[in-house]
Homo-oligomer: A and B are copies of this chain.
Amino acid sequence: MVDTARTRKATFLGALRARVLTQAVPPGADLDEVMLSEEFGLSRTPLREALRELAGEGYVELTPNRGARVSELGHTTLRDFFLAAPMIYGAVLRLAATHAQPSQISELKLAQQAFRAALAGGDVAARALANNRFHAMTGDMAANIYLRPSFNRLLIDHARISMTFYGDDQHEEPNQAADQHDAMIAAIEAGDADSAAALAEDHWALSRHRIAQFVMPDPLSQRLGEPIPSVRSL
């Protein structure tokens, strides 16, 4: 593939998305136009256009005369997130089960294989990206332009939250999550919208419970400095 400026712009878009999702650049980080344009071999004009596109997707935020920053992950975010996520994701999986094309189901299975491989590999960022890709694919299946923008926004922060709360330890949730993915695939393949929607809500319940434990560990059973116990049943 030739290394034209158009290629480098696409490279930049993909690279910055990955960096944001994996928190290689943390929320709120300043994005310097000159620095980025030098790193990716682009002039500022196409770079600024790319930043606008990323802003539209929710990766970055633009402030007039003050440049671009990685989207914040504020203190109200978690609450907002778990309010919206089950509803949106339930609807998405419901539609995915209804509208999925055979070719899309094949791709979803491949994405799931990649996710399990990433779990085995142990690289946290690779896990988050593979998981993100799996869910993004269900979003494509749903094929509803009105749900897509919010769903994609949710996926961005889900990846980042995962990096924050799941990042530094080995738990069994990832495997539970992978099992839920398999169940989702089965429900989608069977065209079972109700099951798919229920699985979506279970999936978020798992995340929510895990994160609630992290943010507010059980004061009765938990001692300072002790590792946070993993979730065995919901």
Residues of A within 8 A of B (CB): 6, 45, 48-49, 52-53, 55-58, 64, 77, 80-81, 83-85, 87-88, 91, 95, 143-151, 153-154, 157
Contacts and interface: CB of A to CB of B under 8 A. Distances in A.
Contact of A145 (B80, B88, B151): B80
- Majority-rule SS of A interface residues: helix
A144 B80 contact: yes
Contacts of A150: 88, 146-151
A81 B48 contact: no
Nearest to A82: B146
Top-10 shortest CB links A-B: A56-B56, A52-B52, A150-B150, A149-B149, A84-B146, A80-B144, A149-B150, A84-B147, A146-B154, A52-B53
Counted per complex, copies of this chain come to 2
A77 B143 CA distance: 11
A50 to B, nearest CB: 9
Nearest to A54: B56
Nearest to A151: B150
A86 to B, nearest CB: 11
A224 to B, nearest CB: 34
B53 A146 contact: no
